[in-house]
Amino acid sequence: MDSSPNGHPAAVPSEVKAATVPSEAKEENEHIVLATKALRSHIGLAENPTEKSSATPSSATPLFWVEVAPESTRGAKCRLDGCPTNVMPGQYRIAVNPGYHSFGGRQSPDYYHVHCFEEIADFSQADFLDRVVPLTRRTWRLRNLQSSSVLDGNYLLDAGAERLTLEWKLSVGKLIDKRDGVETKDEMSAALTDLFYKAGSSKYVPQELPDNLSMFERGLLSSTLAPIESDGPEDMEEWNLFDEYLVVLATSNNLTDKGKEQKEAELTPKAIRAIQRLNVIPMPDIQSAFLRGL
Ligand SMILES: [Zn+2]
């Protein structure tokens, strides 16, 4: 991974973000205003948040993919006007797919640095938040990429980024519901909640899980994707991914680089172990996909 600045989507302080009023916060720059309007109309909203939409929703619903930029010589152009740098290989990026720039009649995705996209997308609104999809073994087929490239490990998020992106989306969603007075029930069973938030802890006791969660996913959630790192039953200060990184405003690279740059002095062997584990990309379950296809 290189060391150029790259905001992490999950590292946005959700409370701050959800409380920000877009029209006040973003009018400092003409580029940003125009890009914000263009993005709003691209997803079928009125250009101005106070107006009703008269836009015809595009036939395909644009999604905001959080992914890792694949190998390329010069990277990809960031679509935010005025952004001086390309999105380079290995950086997290947002792919708006389909994008609104078309080449030769074909709509291709629009790529952004994560921090650039945060300038124009208003994640305090469900219309934006709901479109955020982390590119993982579970979702990649919706993104129309070459299978061989994905199976070589391109585009897919590492385990830490996957957990953080999903947790960030969930947390902001809850804040939006709370702000709007929408009552939501936590639909996750206690067993599943434990698996999602306590796996990796010495105190975690696996329970019976719903059948719709495959053994493959169970295995990943309790190992590679586990948010806790523990030194064992005596450990009173287990390492927790969400405590460490979820509400941190960061402009650094992936988890490993962030750990190196910002926390080197205070990193314990346990934290290093956790960061290395979460830096692994959980690959698609090719074996069972293959078996299903037989
Ligand atoms: Zn940019």
Lowest-confidence segment of 18-22, 66-70, 137-141, 223-227 by average pLDDT = 18-22
- Tell me how far the alpha carbon of residue 86 lies from the centroid of ligand 1, in angstroms: 7
Domain assignment present for residue 80? The answer is no
Question: pLDDT per residue over 77-93, tens digit each?
Answer: 999 988 999 999 999 99
Q: How far is the CA of 253 from the centre of ligand 1 (A)?
A: 14
Cis amide linkage into residue 98, ω under 30° from 0: yes
| Residue 260 predicted with pLDDT over 50 | no
For residue 154, the CA-to-ligand 1 centroid distance in Å is: 20
Q: How far is the CA of 130 from the centre of ligand 1 (A)?
A: 22
Span of 10-24, 123-137, 185-199 with lowest mean pLDDT? 10-24
pLDDT band at 5 (very low <50, low <70, confident <90, very high): very low
Query: Which two three-digit tokens encode residue 191?
Result: 């067993």
Residue 81 neighbours by CB under 8 Å, 6+ apart? 31, 34, 35
Count of residues in the chain: 294
Mean pLDDT of the chain: 83
Instruction: Please give all residues whose CB falls under 5 A of ion ligand 1, grouped by chain where several chains appear.
Output: 78, 80, 83, 113, 116
Cα(286) to ligand 1 centroid in Å equals: 34
Question: Sorting pLDDT into bands at 50, 70 and 90, what band is 52?
Answer: confident
Return all residues near 40 (Cβ < 8 A) that are at least 6 apart: 46, 47, 49
Is 121 a domain residue? yes
Give the pLDDT of residue 148: 93
ipTM comes to 1.00
Residue 293 — pLDDT band, cuts 50, 70, 90?
A: low
User: Is residue 213 in a domain?
Assistant: yes
Burial category of 107 from C-beta neighbours within 10 Å (exposed 0-12, middle 13-18, buried 19 and up): middle
Lowest mean pLDDT among 7-11, 76-80, 140-144, 268-272: 7-11
The answer to whether residue 197 is domain-embedded is yes
Res. 253: pLDDT tops 90:
no
Q: What's residue 103's pLDDT?
A: 61
250 in a domain, yes or no? Answer: yes
Q: How far is CA 56 from CA 44, 59, 287, in A?
A: 6, 9, 42
Number of domains composing the chain: 1
- pLDDT range class, residue 254, cuts 50, 70, 90: very low
Q: How far is the CA of 16 from the centre of ligand 1 (A)?
A: 22
Q: Examine residue 193 and state whether it is found in any structural domain, yes or no.
A: yes
Domain with 52, as residue range(s), is: 8-62+114-133+156-294
Beta-bridged to residue 108, according to DSSP, are none
- For residue 13, the CA-to-ligand 1 centroid distance in Å is 20
The verdict on residue 240 lying in a domain is: yes
To 10 degrees, what angle do helices 190-198 and 215-222 make? 50
CA of 92 from ligand 1 middle (Å) equals 11
Chain-centroid distance of CA 279 in Å reads 14
The answer for residues whose C-beta is within 8 angstroms of residue 141's C-beta and 6 or more apart is: none
How far, in Å, from the CA of 199 to the mean position of ligand 1? 36
Q: How many angstroms does the Cα of residue 255 sit away from the middle of ligand 1?
A: 20
Asked if the structure places residue 139 within a domain, the reply is no
